[in-house]
């Protein structure tokens, strides 16, 4: 019988490098899966439906929310985001360690429902570096960057609600730290 996997709440500001760290984690540890969130926002260039997000209509999103089909859901920058409950439960039963990459509003919901969850907040080395990374993506206009920076300042106020904070000053070092936290959790 498979040992049940560990759910990991994985949050951080937009542009902090969560996705870059996650690529490294997935490369290094075959037991790790990333839950694929539903969203009502439009895909960015290169994003694949069912891989990066499940892109759904507002009506589809709200119907699943009404039937308690999300672990959490929230509105972020005018779009709905949510973690489908059944998908996560299935992967945990298969023995996978499932990372729930969720923004802070949804993360607080998860911690309320599952207070013992391994929760990790990814921090930028500085706000200046965060802004540099957001601008470097070249995917958002000036107004969106300002909104994301203001949102980041608000989100970082909640970092102490998470069990662990990892500063993404170097991707390999940050991935090492996240894997160390996961290994410690598995051995408890």
pLDDT for 117-175, tens place per residue?
999 999 999 999 999 888 888 778 899 889 989 999 999 999 999 999 999 999 999 99
- The region, left, alpha or beta by phi > 0 then psi within -120 to 50, assigned to residue 95 is left
Phi, psi for 141 (deg, rounded to 5): -80, 175
pLDDT at 156: 94
Residue 27 has pLDDT above 60, yes or no: yes
d(CA 123, CA 159): 8
| Contact in structure between 132 and 18 (CB atoms under 8 Å) | no
Q: What residues contact residue 188 under an 8 Å CB cut-off, 6+ apart? A: none
For the chain, the farthest-separated pair of C-alpha atoms sits apart, in whole angstroms, at 52
**Residue 140 contacts by C-beta under 8 Å, 6 or more apart in sequence?**
134, 148
- CATH topology (fold) of 7-186: Rossmann fold (3.40.50)
Compute the distance between CA of residue 119 and CA of residue 162 in angstroms, rounded to an integer: 5
pTM of the full structure: 0.84
User: What pLDDT is attached to residue 1?
Assistant: 44
């Amino acid at each position: 019988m498979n040992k049940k996997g560990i759910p990991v709440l994985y949050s951080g500001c937009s542009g902090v490098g969560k996705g870059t760290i996650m690529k490294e984690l997935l490369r290094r540890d075959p037991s790790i899966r990333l839950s694929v969130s539903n969203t009502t926002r439009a895909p960015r260039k290169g994003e694949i439906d069912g891989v990066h997000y499940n892109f759904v209509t507002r009506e589809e999103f709200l119907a699943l929310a009404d039937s308690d089909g999300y672990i959490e859901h929230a509105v972020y920058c005018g779009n709905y985001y949510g973690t489908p409950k059944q998908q996560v439960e299935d992967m945990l039963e298969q023995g996978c360690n499932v990372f729930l990459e969720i923004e802070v509003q949804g993360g607080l919901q998860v911690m309320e429902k599952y207070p013992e969850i391994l929760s990790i907040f990814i921090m930028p080395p500085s706000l200046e570096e965060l802004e540099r990374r957001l601008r470097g993506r070249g995917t958002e206009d000036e107004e969106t960057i300002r909104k994301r920076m203001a949102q980041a300042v608000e989100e970082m106020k909640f970092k102490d609600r998470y069990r662990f904070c990892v500063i993404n000053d170097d991707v390999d070092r940050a991935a090492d730290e996240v894997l160390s936290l996961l290994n410690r959790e598995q051995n408890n």
